[in-house]
Structure 1
Amino acid sequence: MTPKILALYLPQYFPFRENDEWWGKGFTEWTNVGKAKPLWKGHYQPKVPADLGYYDLRVPEVREQQAELARKAGVTGFLYWHYWFGNGKRLMERVFHEVLETGKPDLPFALAWANHSWDKKDWEGGRLHDIMLMEQTYPGEEDARQHFEFLLKAFKDERYIKVDGCPFLYIFKPDEVPSTYLRWFRQWAQEAGFKDLYLVANVWGKNTLEHYQAMGYQAVVENNMLDLLQTKYSQMPKYKEFLYRAYRRCSQALSGKSRGAMNYREFASKVITDECKNRYVIPEIFPNWDHSPRSGRAATAIFYNEDPDSFYEMSCDALKAIKDKPSEEQIIILKSWNEWGEGNYMEPDMRYGHGYIEALRKAVDKFK
């Protein structure tokens, strides 16, 4: 068994013009990571990188080191976040451009279209006064064609990840992409010589697999990590839900934990559901989640008591869920490789070292 483990990859670790204008000269993701503070006693912040340090992704050697660590972990390839806002407007394109143009690192990859607007978020004010920085738009066929021509150059790279010959394309907000765009992309891919595209919808909430397949997606990613607490409530009798909510409020008051704090060890076993056994449902695993470097006490969800052993069990659950699928479709999404500002990263830090890398490798080796 050789599952495809695809790790989402954030390129926001170098200064660029728009960030300088919006946040101040030299701003990168490390700015938020470095200034983070613990919100309660025992809260693991700030998170400090170990082997790679506070790297700059303009440096090719860093990207090679990341690829080496990914191979060590059993990661098949990176899913580079790709920002196309319409009419050719992109952000943070330098990293992937260099990966594509140089042929390095020699690690498989695919693209994940982060099709969302960028806002300056008013965390302390309850998001009532967010300011639009860059709007996501879908201007029409000329824009779609221009976007596809860029995608096609990537699809033709021998490193590009394909499923049964179809280039893999992950879409962050699948309901917002006009159906015409998906139809054009698939048609143009076929005209370029591919069987089709393997379009993957990142899914929250209640919409069904059938809903997305009707739109033109081949598969969905079950992204439920921020819904785990609400799911637990929904499965309880009302009196138990009332008691559990009261217990959480008391615990938070005594410990100082934020309202959305969740015990990673408690919920890790709930992440992979029976739905993930469906051929067209891709499981998603995550080493942790903690948005507080960006949003402080307004963070709606923070996992604590994270540890590589619990992540290993989650990874094993995901591998079990996909083992009976066709070999080409044995896919797991890893969220994420390097989202330090959201606390989900595999790269070594000062607390766990290579713990998460070794945990995933152990799970992969077990199921080979």
Structure 2
Amino acid sequence: MKIIAFYLPQFHQIPENDIWWGNGFTEWVNVKKAKPLYEGHYQPRKPLNNNYYNLLDDRVKEWQIKLAKENGVYGFCFYHYWFGGRMLLQQPVEQFLKNSNLDLPFCICWANENWTQAWVSKDNRILIEQKYGGKPEWKEHFKYLLPYFKDNRYITNNGKPLFVIYRPELIESLNEMLDYWQELARENGFLGIDFAYQHLNFDREKNTDDSRFVYNIEYQPPYAYYDLTKNKFKYLKKIRRHVLSFLEQKFNINIKGVRPGGVLRFSYDDMWNQIIKRIPEDEKRIPGAFVDWDNTPRKGEKGSVYEGATPEKFHKYLTKQIRRTRDVYKKDMLFMFAWNEWAEGGYLEPDEKFGFEYLKAIKQALIENNEFPEWKEKNENG
């Protein structure tokens, strides 16, 4: 079983972040400034032994890989930020490519949104616009990715590198670009590329052409949130529309589109129960899993919190999801949120409260499904 964890590279300083957020900004800034917003709210999250690491230090990546391998995490899926030839946060994965001692399978996910202030601020100003261009720009991007695809650590299926696109629906001339990349892959000795997509929006759009994609990753917990709330709040939303309309007509106040503030609180158990009863809608589906979720460190006084997460619950649900990956989805891959999304509460790395228990939960869940690599090796060797 290949558990592949999404990996955020924003734990090192870059000039752009210094300008936009202040000198020395990394994701740790958001993590450190977090505060509890209600009684029992687990914030701030603190890494074990104050390990506020710098990803430009290869010893950090060696430590991460050691933890991953010891506990059955198969590989990392690195987020990749490419804006028509301009890149952000590329140094950790470039270092990974150059250092053959970092011996863990990996793949790349193109986080192809505009870079805005919305993720940490009320201001939605675009800082770098995402432009896709035509064949010359597509070729330039492919040439940058090619050394990764050729690396023997890169995750492939039947000789085809696995490449994830976060939000395909944003790409103009999507099919033309993907067809051209397939052509370039064959010209460079590959049988092709296995494209996967990640975001719920592409999956839920009507009349979506996903014919170029081999896989649809059920990125969790957003899929579970959608399933849980798509009908639950339908009536409440209708009432809210009527109330807003009345206020506008009565008091001549334009308040449409205003999102109420505060923290949205959900049950960790409810989300996981939604995940483990999900039935794949087609054979392209790759199941997902999540450690925890709390994005208030990024959002300040707003955000979403899934309450009640513990390593014991995570172990229980993941054990079931591994079994379902094999028996229901008929897949050998499961994508995990996340390795190190500290400011969104999704991290496997040890913290002060739970130590290494979430990592140990993965190992135990794999062992109980006879899927842990060391167990398989011992069994096969007698």
Aligned match of 2:79: 81
| Amino acid in the other structure paired with 2:357 | G
5 Å-filtered alignment, 1:15-54, equals 15-50=13-48, 53-54=51-52
Tell me the residue number matched to 1:64. 62
Equivalent residues in 2 for 1:255-266, closer than 5 Å: 258-266=262-270
CA contact (8 A) 1:171 1:199 kept: yes
- CA-based RMSD: 2.6
Report matched runs for 1:139-154 at 5 Å.
139-154=133-148
Aligned to 2:374: none
Tell me how far 1:102 sits from its aligned partner.
1.9
| Ranges in structure 2 where 5+ consecutive residues have no aligned partner | 239-260, 371-382
- Runs (4+) off by over 4 Å: 233-242
Checking the alignment, whether the CA contact within 8 Å between 2:287 and 2:329 is kept in structure 1 is no
Within 5 Å, which residues of 2 pair with 1:212-361? 212-214=209-211, 216-226=212-222, 228-229=224-225, 231-234=227-230, 258-276=262-280, 278-299=282-303, 301-324=304-327, 329-361=331-363
The whole-number CA distance in structure 2 between the counterparts of 1:9 and 1:34 is 19
Aligned counterpart, 1:172 = 166
Give the aligned residue type for 1:323.
R
Q: Measure how far apart 1:273 and its partner are.
A: 3.9
Q: For 1:192-203, list aligned pairs within 5 A.
A: 192-203=188-199
Partner of 2:246: none
User: Which deviations, in whole Å up to 9, do the C-alpha atoms of 1:124-180 show, x marking residues without a partner?
Assistant: 7xx4x4211111110111111011011111010000001122101111112123222
Q: Please give the secondary structure, in 1, of the residue aligned with 2:164.
A: strand
1:240 to partner: Cα distance: 12
Identity of aligned residues (%): 33
C-alpha distance in 2 between matches for 1:305 and 1:122: 24
In the superposition, relative to structure 1, how do residues 352 and 209 fare at CA in structure 2: closer, same or farther (>3 Å)? farther
In 1, Cα distance between the equivalents of 2:359 and 2:69? 9
Q: Structure 2 CA distance, aligned partners of 1:140 and 1:237?
A: 41
Contact kept? 1:209, 1:220, Cα under 8 Å: no
- Residue in structure 1 matched with residue 255 of structure 2 by the alignment: none
In the alignment, the residues of structure 2 paired with residue 196 and residue 217 of structure 1 have an alpha-carbon distance, to the nearest angstrom, of: 12
TM-score (norm 1): 0.87
SS in 1 for 2:116: strand
Q: Which of residues 351, 363, 366 is equivalent to 1:364?
A: 366
Alignment check: 8 A CA contact 1:275 1:281 kept:
no
Equivalent AA in structure 2 for residue 295 of structure 1: K
Q: TM-score, normalised by structure 2?
A: 0.84
Compute the displacement of 1:323 (Å).
Answer: 1.2
